[in-house]
């Protein structure tokens, strides 16, 4: 008999927990906001636009690094 409160395929009480996607969603949202701010071109100094664009690139790189870490961790779990 199975426990009806636990969906099939989910980790049980002693199993590994699935990774959270909250950091990735926050990074993606932040990058989107920064990119939109640069694209709508409000009246701001050129150095500020350049700084915002550079920050957006860094956020996207952080998102890619986080995705690579999640991928690596999931591959390790799959091998066991």
What band does 4 get if pLDDT is binned at 50, 70 and 90?
A: low
Tell me the pLDDT tens digit for each residue of 21-64.
Answer: 888 888 889 888 888 888 887 788 889 888 988 998 899 899 89
Residue 74 lies in a domain: yes
pLDDT of residue 61: 92
**Alpha-carbon gap, residue 54 to 27, rounded angstroms:** 14
Residue 17 lies in a domain: no
Residue 52 lies in a domain: yes
Residue 8 lies in a domain: no
Number of domain units in the chain = 1
Residue 51 lies in a domain: yes
């Amino acid at each position: 008999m199975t426990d009806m409160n636990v969906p099939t395929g989910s980790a049980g009480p002693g199993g590994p927990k699935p990774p959270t996607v909250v950091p990735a969603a926050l990074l993606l949202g932040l990058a989107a906001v920064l990119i939109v701010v640069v694209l709508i071109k409000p009246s701001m100094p050129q150095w500020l636009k350049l700084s915002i664009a550079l920050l957006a690139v860094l956020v996207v790189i952080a998102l890619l690094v986080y995705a690579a870490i999640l991928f690596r961790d999931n591959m390790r779990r799959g091998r066991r």
